[in-house]
């Protein structure tokens, strides 16, 4: 039986990397957040809807954190997709909710990936109204 060719090994390696996504990390305290004049439950639903509208598959959704990943588009080379995004929610008194968004890019296909933070916030604005 012949051994595996270097081309086959390379293709297998690229496909393995393409399956990996990076985990978003919560932005630090110095990172500005946006504030919605809405209760956390409404903002949480808008965050889920915003991820889905931007092509993310939601994998985790709790009262204070939503996470999703965009599927990779693979052709001759790994293309766009593979990004993951996290949305952190904090109730800040009354009916106000603070939101921080972070997009993480995977190693494979990084050249074709983008930061989705602004698009997610813009879509949330459509769902619950403009942020402060």
Q: Is residue 1 part of a domain?
A: no
- Domain of 86: which CATH number? 3.30.310.80
Asked whether the whole model's pTM tops 0.95, one would answer: no
Q: How far apart are CA 50 and CA 117, in angstroms?
A: 10
- Domain count along the chain: 1
Per-residue model confidence as pLDDT tens digits over 62-108: 999 999 999 876 654 555 678 899 999 999 988 999 999 999 876 65
What is the rounded distance in angstroms from the CA atom of residue 99 to the CA atom of residue 35? Answer: 6
Asked whether residue 59 is domain-assigned, the answer is: yes
| Containing structural domain, residue 118 | 6-128
Q: Does any domain span residue 61?
A: yes
- Give per-residue pLDDT as tens, 22-71: 788 888 888 889 999 999 999 999 999 999 999 999 999 999 999 999 98
Q: How far apart are CA 71 and CA 76, in angstroms?
A: 16
């Amino acid at each position: 039986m012949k051994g595996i060719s270097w081309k086959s090994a390379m293709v297998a390696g690229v496909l393995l990397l393409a399956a990996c996504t990076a985990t978003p990390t919560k932005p630090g305290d110095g990172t500005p957040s946006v504030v919605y004049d809405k209760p956390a439950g409404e903002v949480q639903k808008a965050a889920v809807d915003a991820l889905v509208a931007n092509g993310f598959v939601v994998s985790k959704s709790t009262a204070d954190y939503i996470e999703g990943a965009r599927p990779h588009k693979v052709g001759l080379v790994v293309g766009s997709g593979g990004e993951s995004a996290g949305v952190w929610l904090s109730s800040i008194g009354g009916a106000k909710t603070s939101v921080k968004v972070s997009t993480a890019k995977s190693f494979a296909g990084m050249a074709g990936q983008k930061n989705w933070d602004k698009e997610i916030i813009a879509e949330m604005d459509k769902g619950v109204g403009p942020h402060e």
